[in-house]
């Protein structure tokens, strides 16, 4: 295999054992078996708490690792990516073991690896991927402000993880938010123009799939130098339900109430502190400055999969 020939590669697999309701922890025997079969120089380390994945990523980047791989869900991948943006000497990989697994589809991989995906993963195909940035925090897949983030914040206040748990329960929380979410006044700065809006949702995607598999930015390309933005204004409950139905049917860009744009930067300002959801993690602020880092990460991907890249070479 391609990586068997590269004896100089030094790998670390950062595993969040709690991801996927414990699936990632139970995944360890298979992971170690796949590493052993390929006889690569690799360590497997476990995270112990929120934020620990970032510390481990920075530690192993400084120690000279050439390949840093996350095993977990979207939040785990985002934590690991924080110190790796702009690092041309490091390849980042993602092995899905979470619940939602929205980001993995950007790379062309499915929610769970089979023998084929392991072979493709270790073949070492690399693509330069854009990375989003909001208030100094990088995001890989996307962020949402409005009912999407409010549902997560309400869930967190209830003592549960913002983005995790049973996908059906998560979708049910979203449906409840569709009925009861209150739109907030907002100042949007887009392409240097300011607009006053009262929006139900702003979904900003580097990838296409958000929580529960919702494709709110179905046209997103993760290496085109632009973020896709799906803006849904203040709507009646029936119109909200219609928009949600259009999302499920992959027709959201055809909805007459939806504004769909592409941009490399935008700012959202509110009169009060509101939640935003970045790769499954909550951030609270009155102002969100969103920019893009073109080609910020070198990613392992599946060139034969349904990835979100154009045909550019790394």
Q: Where are the domains of the chain?
A: 2-124, 137-292
How many Cβ atoms sit within 10 Å of the Cβ of residue 281? Answer: 19
Beta bridge partners of 199: 184, 233
Q: pLDDT-derived band of residue 3, with 50, 70 and 90 as boundaries?
A: very low
Q: How far apart are CA 276 and CA 269, in angstroms?
A: 12
Residue 314's pLDDT is: 44
Q: Give the residue-averaged pLDDT of 214-234.
A: 93
> Who wins on pLDDT, 172 or 87?
87
C-alpha neighbours within 13 Å on the C-beta side of residue 172: 5
> Who wins on pLDDT, 166 or 241?
241
Q: pLDDT-derived band of residue 301, with 50, 70 and 90 as boundaries?
A: very high
Buried b (16+ CB within 10 A) or exposed e, 199-223: bbbbbbbbbbbbbbbbbbbbebbbb
| 2-124: CATH, from 3.10.450.30, 3.40.640.10, 3.40.50.10330, 3.40.50.2000 | 3.40.50.10330
Residue 1's pLDDT is: 33
The structure tokens 């670390």 sit at 12
Q: What is the pTM of this model?
A: 0.89
Beta bridge partners of 263: 227
Q: Is a pLDDT exceeding 80 seen at residue 13?
A: yes
Q: How far apart are CA 184 and CA 83, in angstroms?
A: 34
Q: 110-129: per-residue pLDDT in tens?
A: 999 999 999 999 999 999 99
The CATH code for residues 137-292 is: 2.60.200.40
Q: Which of 21-25, 155-159, 267-271 has the highest mean pLDDT?
A: 267-271
Q: Give the residue-averaged pLDDT of 179-183.
A: 78
């Amino acid at each position: 295999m391609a990586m068997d020939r590269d004896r100089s590669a030094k790998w670390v697999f950062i595993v969040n054992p709690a991801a996927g309701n414990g699936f990632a922890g139970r995944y360890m025997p298979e992971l170690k078996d796949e590493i052993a079969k390929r006889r690569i120089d690799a360590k497997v380390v476990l995270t112990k708490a929120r934020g620990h994945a970032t510390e481990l990523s920075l530690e192993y980047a400084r120690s000279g690792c050439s390949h840093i791989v996350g095993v977990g869900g979207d939040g785990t991948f985002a934590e690991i990516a924080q110190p790796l943006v702009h690092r041309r000497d490091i390849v980042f990989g993602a092995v899905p073991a979470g619940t939602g697994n929205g980001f993995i589809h950007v790379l062309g991989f499915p929610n769970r690896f089979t023998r084929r995906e392991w072979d493709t993963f270790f073949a070492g195909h690399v693509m330069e991927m854009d990375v989003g940035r909001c208030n100094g925090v990088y995001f890989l897949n996307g962020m949402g402000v409005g009912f999407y983030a409010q549902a997560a914040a309400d869930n967190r206040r209830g003592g549960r993880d913002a983005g995790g748990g049973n996908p059906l329960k998560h979708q049910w929380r979203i449906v409840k938010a569709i009925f009861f979410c209150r739109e907030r006044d907002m100042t949007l700065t887009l392409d240097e123009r300011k607009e006053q809006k009262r929006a139900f949702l702003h979904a900003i995607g580097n990838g296409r799939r958000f929580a529960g598999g919702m494709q709110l930015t179905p046209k997103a390309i993760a290496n085109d130098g632009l973020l896709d933005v799906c803006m849904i204004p203040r709507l009646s409950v029936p119109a909200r339900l219609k928009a949600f139905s259009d999302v499920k049917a992959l027709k959201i860009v055809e909805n007459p109430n939806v504004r769909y744009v592409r941009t490399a930067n935008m700012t959202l300002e509110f009169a009060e502190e509101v939640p935003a959801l970045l790769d499954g993690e909550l951030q609270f602020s009155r102002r969100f400055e969103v920019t893009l880092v073109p080609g910020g990460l070198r990613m392992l991907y599946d060139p034969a999969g349904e990835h979100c890249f154009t045909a550019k070479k790394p």
